[in-house]
Chains A and B, each alone.
Chain A
Amino acid sequence: MKPKVAFYWCASCGGCEEAVVDLDEKILDVANAVDIVFWPVALDFKEHDVEAMPDGSILASFINGAIRNSDQLKMAKLLRAKSQVVVAFGVCAQLGGIPGLANLSDAKGIFAEVFADGVAPVRFYKDNGHSLSLPEFFDTVVALDRVIDVDYYVPGCPPTPKIIGDALGVLLGSTLPPKGTVLAPDQALCEQCPRKDTRPEKLLLKEFKRVHQVVADQQTCLLAQGLACLGPGTRAGCEAMCPRGNMPCTGCFGPTSRVRDFGAKALSSLASIIDSDDEGEIARVLDALPDPAGTFYRYSLPSSLLGRRRME
C-alpha cells in the first residue's frame, strides 16, 4: 500500500499550494509514490473524512500557513493526531510569515481597520431554526509549532520545486533526519548567489536605497549597491531566485540553525555596515529603512523573541 499524505492550509495566501502544483510533471511521480488522502484545495475530501481515519494512519501531513483562528487550530490538532509526521510547509507555518505581521496589531485593531465603515462579520447567527458560526479570530498569530508538535520544516515563500522535491526524497528515504530539521541547506544565501564574488571583503555603506529608487546592476552584489539585501542572514535553498531576478533577498527562507531571532540578526548585520560613527548621520542613513519591523520581521514576527507588539 502506498504511504498516505495530506496537505492543508491555514493562514496563508495559497502560494504554497501553488508551489506543489508547480512541481509540474514531477507531481505525477509524487502521485505515483503516495496516496493523497486530504487536500481541500485540489481534491474533494471533507473534515469528517479525516476524522474517520485511524490515528497515525497518515504518513505525513504538509501544513502550510500560520495559525490565526480557531478553525485552523482545530484542523492542525486533528491532522497531528492522524499523522506520523507533520511538516510545517512554507515560512508561514515555520515562522509565522506575512500573516504574522498582524501581530503589530490585534483582533480589535484589525477589525476596526478593515470593517470600519462596513458590515462587520457576526460570529454566531441564527435564523429560522438554522444557525451559522464563524471561527474565532485570534489576537495573536503563531507559527505551527506553537500549537502542535512539528517534525520537519520546509522553508520558503513559497518553497521552491527543488526544495519540495528534496524534502519529499528525504521523507520517503530510508533514514529520516533528526526531528526539528529544517529541510534546506544550513548556510547563508550568499553561498548560492551568483553575485557572491563581487561582494567586497569589507563592505561599508554611506546610504541605503530602496528598490523603486534604482535600477540595480545585474552582476554586482546588491548589498554593495546599497539595497537592503538580507541574503547574509537568510538560509540558502532558493538558489538566490530574487538576486537572480535583480531583487534583493527579503529573508523568506528564515534563519540558519545558529540564529534564534531572524530579525534581530538581520538588523544587526545591516546596521553594522553603515559607514559612519556619528549618531545623527547614522540616523539619517537609517531613514531609508522606514519600517524596521516590516523589513526584518517580514516573515518571522510570531516566532521572534518578542513575538508581538505590546499594546493596551
Chain B
Amino acid sequence: MPETFEPKIVAFFCNWCTYLAADLAGTSRIKYAPNTRVVRVMCSGRVDPQFILDAFAKGADGVLIGGCHPGDCHYQEGNYKALRRFVLLKRLVKQMGIEEARLRLEWISAAEGERVKTVVNDMVEKLRVLGPRVPVRQKEVA
C-alpha cells in the first residue's frame, strides 16, 4: 500500500447537529484529517440511499452519515429512519462487494466538535488500512 493513499470520504451531516459540530470543530481550531467532503443536509433522514450508492459509484472510498443523537432529531424521528435504512443498506453494500467499514453512521450533537475529529480521524485510519476500493476488473461489454 503506498503511504500516499488518502481516502476520499463523502460525509452527509445534518443541519442541526453534526454540521454544527463540524462548524464548532472549525471555530475551536480543532485539527482533523482533511479527507471528508461534507454535504450539508437538513436531516440524516434526508440521506436517500441513492446518494450513498452514487457516492460509491463515483469513487468515494467511504461514506459517513452524521445525525442527531436518538431522541434529539429536529424532526422527531428522521434519525431513526436513517438508522433503519442504514442497517439494511449496510447489508446490501456488503453483497455488492463494499467492505462494512466504508459505510458509517454516527450521532454527533452540535456540542461535540471534538467527536467530529475522533470519528473522522478513526474512519480515515480504517480506510487507509483497507486501502483504495477494488476497481471493477470484470470485463464490460465493448
Contacts and interface: CB of A to CB of B under 8 A. Distances in A.
Given A140-B141, A264-B53, 19 more contacts: A73-B142, A104-B95, A139-B138, A140-B140, A147-B141, A261-B54, A264-B50, A267-B85, A268-B50, A271-B88, A277-B77, A279-B87, A292-B91, A292-B95, A304-B53, A306-B53, A308-B96, A309-B95, A310-B96
Contacts of A291: 95
A267 B77 CA distance: 18
Interchain residue pairs A-B with the least CB separation, the first 7: A310-B97, A139-B138, A264-B49, A305-B53, A293-B95, A292-B92, A271-B88
A283 interface: yes
Interface string B112-140: 00000000000000000000011111111
Nearest to B87: A282
Contacts of B37: none
Interface of A: 67, 73, 104, 106-107, 138-140, 142, 146-147, 259-261, 263-265, 267-268, 270-272, 274, 276-277, 279, 282-283, 286, 289, 291-293, 296, 304-312
A147 B92 CA distance: 27
Contact of A138 (B56, B87, B95, B139): B139
Given A104-B95, A268-B48, A311-B97, A146 B84 contact: no
A69 to B, nearest CB: 9
Contacts of A289: 88
B53 A282 contact: no
Place the interface of chain B in its size category. 35 or more
A10 to B, nearest CB: 11
B98 A271 contact: no
Contact of B89 (A107, A260, A267): A267
Contacts of A277: 70, 77, 80, 83
A279 B85 CA distance: 11
Interface of B: 48-50, 52-54, 56-57, 70, 77, 80-81, 83-85, 87-89, 91-93, 95-98, 133-142
5 contacts: A138-B139, A138-B140, A291-B95, A309-B96, A310-B96
A293 B92 contact: yes
A67 B53 contact: no
Majority SS of interface residues in chain A? mixed
A267 B138 contact: no
B96 A312 contact: no
A287 to B, nearest CB: 10
B89 to A, nearest CB: 6
A310 B141 contact: no
A308 B137 CA distance: 11
B141 A305 contact: no
Contacts of A261: 49-50, 53-54
Contacts of B142: 73
Contact of B56 (A140, A270, A306, A309): A306
Contacts of A270: 88
Contacts of B95: 104, 291-293, 309
A264 B48 contact: yes
Nearest to A76: B141
Contacts of A104: 95-96
A268 B91 CA distance: 13
B85 A272 contact: yes
B49 A279 contact: no
Given A140-B139, A312-B137, A267 B88 contact: yes
